[in-house]
Amino acid sequence: MSEFDPRMYHHHNRIKELRKEKGLTLKELGHKVGIRDNTLSQYETEKRNPKLEIWEKLADFFGVSTSYIQGLSYERVDPYETTMNELKKMRFNDDPEKDKVLHEQFENLFENIIGYYNEKIDELGSAIGNIQGDDDYFEP
């Protein structure tokens, strides 16, 4: 058995990848999120590690989960994190207009959750279909 190599389990963050997807320079991204470009560069190269609040700010800007931007997940959107972020935005009061907005936020929230799981169900169905189409597949 070989020795444990912690580098095998190191996940690189996706700040640079996401920045390039949006066609932004470090300076432009820094201006949009309120972080100096040299600090962002150090985050991208992992010479510095952002605090959780910074990860959240960057994830929100790019529309991804914090675990995705940190390189800990392959899923761009985490339904739990999305739900929690939406709930943070909600305010409960007696104003009918604000109550209407609250209901719209709930609807959007649940549409996001349902959409996510419908996509996963479709992917699973396709995977099962591919397996069943395989000549080596044996159904008892």
Residue 5 confidence (pLDDT) above 80: no
The reported pLDDT for the residue numbered 109 is 82
Report residue 62's pLDDT band, with 50, 70 and 90 as the boundaries: very high
Within 8 A by CB and 6+ apart from 46, the residues are 12, 13
Reading the block at residue 54, the tokens are 């910074």
| Farthest-apart Cα atoms in the chain, separation | 66
Report the range out of 42-46, 71-75, 135-139 with the highest average pLDDT: 42-46
The whole-angstrom separation of Cα 76 and Cα 21 is: 13
H/E/C letters for each residue in 34-94? CCCHHHHHHHHCCCCCCCHHHHHHHHHHHCCCHHHHCCCCCCCCCHHHHHHHHHHHCCCCC
The reported pLDDT for the residue numbered 57 is 95
Residue 16 confidence (pLDDT) above 90: yes
CA proximity to 77, closest of 44, 120, 122: 120
User: 101-131: per-residue pLDDT in tens?
Assistant: 877 888 788 788 888 888 888 888 888 877 7
Residue 64 confidence (pLDDT) above 80: yes
The whole-angstrom separation of Cα 33 and Cα 53 is: 12
Residue 4 confidence (pLDDT) above 50: no
Least confident of 37-41, 64-68, 82-86, 132-136: 132-136
